[in-house]
């Protein structure tokens, strides 16, 4: 279904207000993103010019996926959500029940067939050092931070069928407020929603439920300031993401790879390595300048301009 931009923005404002605010903040600040990983994985990304997406069940984030799903299911099955379902049933008889049924059928698939790449918001003040907590989590024995320009993450495009979500960090009480705001928006906009095609309303309500399953995380992880690039192949298959079987930490698993290639005819611009990569920060390790030289050489071989200026050695001292 082709939907004009004004209608899309109206529905996003009603159903995804907090997610929209985070995206607007990133655009206005022209912030960048960063991916903390091992030096070996960082080297592979540069050489292959591909970024891996792993199944959520195999990543550190799986428990947080469960956190999101459980809280969405709990709230929207509670009395607090009844006003929203009533509005939907007035838009079209049985629409609320239909959405409920479809969403409940998605939940097992969300848990087992969601692929992710995780990135974090990056501040200017971290340009020369990175973030100590992230080095501790992902930087052993030698870590790198790949800093990316943000445009490609926030530009509207269906080229890859993979989509970016900011992670929201809330307690259960704060989630009641968030979801209550959405229910209130639906009630307040009943007439506007009635003017739209019921199938479109159904699609966006399902998108709202799924988005919050994917993007909610316990507030104890808030300092990570995470975003997730998400692929759901059982909903929407991509002919550009490349599937392969890899062994990671001894576990054979299916992954998808994002090729770092622009698709300008579908508004995917800024993904090619020279534009996408802002800098590489070498984390605290015993041989930082050996690593610096290696990454400069690999960037040069990959055709990245000014490689010497793009590789930075973190000034955080190594603890021994």
pLDDT in tens, 229-268: 999 999 999 999 999 999 988 999 999 999 999 999 999 9
- Secondary structure of residue 150 in the 3-state scheme: coil
**Cross-strand pairs, 257:** 52, 242
CA angle (102 as vertex; 112, 258 as ends), nearest 5: 40
Residues of the chain above pLDDT 70, percent: 97
Give the closest residue to 157 by CA, choosing from 304, 261, 28, 243.
Answer: 261
Could you tell me the pLDDT band of residue 57, with boundaries at 50, 70 and 90?
Answer: confident
Q: Which helix or strand (DSSP H or E) is residue 153 part of?
A: helix 151-154
Task: Return d(Cα 226, Cα 166) in angstroms, integer.
Answer: 6
Does residue 124 sit within a domain? yes
**For the ranges 29-33, 259-263, 286-290, the one whose mean pLDDT is highest:** 259-263
Q: What is the DSSP letter of 55?
A: E
Could you tell me the pLDDT band of residue 65, with boundaries at 50, 70 and 90?
Answer: confident
Does residue 182 sit within a domain? yes
Could you tell me the pLDDT band of residue 1, with boundaries at 50, 70 and 90?
Answer: low
Does residue 318 sit within a domain? no
**Cross-strand pairs, 243:** 256
Mean pLDDT of 261-280: 97
Could you tell me the pLDDT band of residue 59, with boundaries at 50, 70 and 90?
Answer: confident
Q: Into how many domains does the chain fold?
A: 1
Tens digits of per-residue pLDDT, 122-179?
A: 999 999 999 988 988 876 788 999 999 999 998 889 999 999 999 999 998 999 999 9
Query: In the predicted model, what is the mean pLDDT of the chain?
Result: 93
Output the furthest CA–CA distance in the chain (Å, rounded): 67
Write out the two tokens for 285. Answer: 């390790």
239 and 180 in contact (C-beta within 8 Å)? no
Does residue 17 sit within a domain? yes
The model's pTM: 0.92
Does residue 15 sit within a domain? yes
Would you say residue 203 has pLDDT above 80?
A: yes
Does residue 320 sit within a domain? no
Does residue 40 sit within a domain? yes
Range of the domain at 199: 5-313
CA angle (181 as vertex; 165, 221 as ends), nearest 5: 40
Could you tell me the pLDDT band of residue 62, with boundaries at 50, 70 and 90?
Answer: low
pLDDT number for residue 64: 66
Does residue 18 sit within a domain? yes
SS (H, E, C) 1-27: CCCCHHHHHHHHHHHCHHHHHHHHHHH
């Amino acid at each position: 279904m082709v939907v004009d931009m004004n209608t899309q923005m109206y529905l996003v404002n009603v159903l995804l207000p907090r997610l929209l605010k985070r995206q607007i903040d990133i655009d206005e600040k022209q912030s960048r993103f960063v991916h903390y990983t091992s030096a070996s994985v960082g080297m592979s990304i540069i050489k292959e010019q591909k970024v891996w997406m792993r199944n959520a069940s195999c990543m550190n984030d799986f428990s947080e996926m469960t956190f999101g799903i459980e809280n969405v299911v709990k709230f929207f099955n509670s009395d607090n959500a009844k006003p929203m379902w009533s509005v939907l049933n007035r838009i079209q008889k049985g629409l609320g029940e239909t959405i409920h049924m479809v969403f409940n059928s998605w939940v097992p698939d969300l848990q087992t067939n969601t692929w992710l790449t995780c990135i974090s918001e990056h501040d200017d003040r971290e340009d020369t050092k990175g973030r100590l907590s992230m080095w501790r989590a992902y930087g052993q024995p030698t870590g790198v931070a790949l800093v990316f320009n943000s445009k490609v993450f926030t530009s509207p495009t269906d080229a890859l069928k993979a989509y970016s979500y900011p992670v929201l960090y809330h307690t259960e009480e704060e989630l009641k407020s968030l979801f209550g705001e959405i229910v209130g928006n639906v009630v307040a906009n009943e007439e506007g929603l009635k003017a739209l095609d019921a199938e479109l309303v159904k699609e966006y309500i399902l998108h709202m439920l799924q988005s919050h399953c994917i993007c909610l995380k316990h507030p104890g992880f808030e300092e990570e300031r995470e975003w997730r690039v998400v692929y759901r192949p059982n909903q929407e298959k991509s002919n550009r993401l490349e599937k392969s079987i890899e062994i990671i930490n001894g576990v054979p698993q299916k992954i998808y790879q994002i090729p770092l290639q622009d698709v300008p005819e579908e508004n995917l611009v800024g993904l090619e390595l020279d534009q996408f990569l802002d800098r590489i920060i070498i984390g605290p390790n015993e041989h930082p300048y050996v690593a610096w030289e290696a990454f400069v050489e690999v960037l040069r071989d990959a055709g990245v301009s000014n490689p010497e200026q793009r590789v930075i050695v973190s000034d955080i001292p190594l603890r021994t």
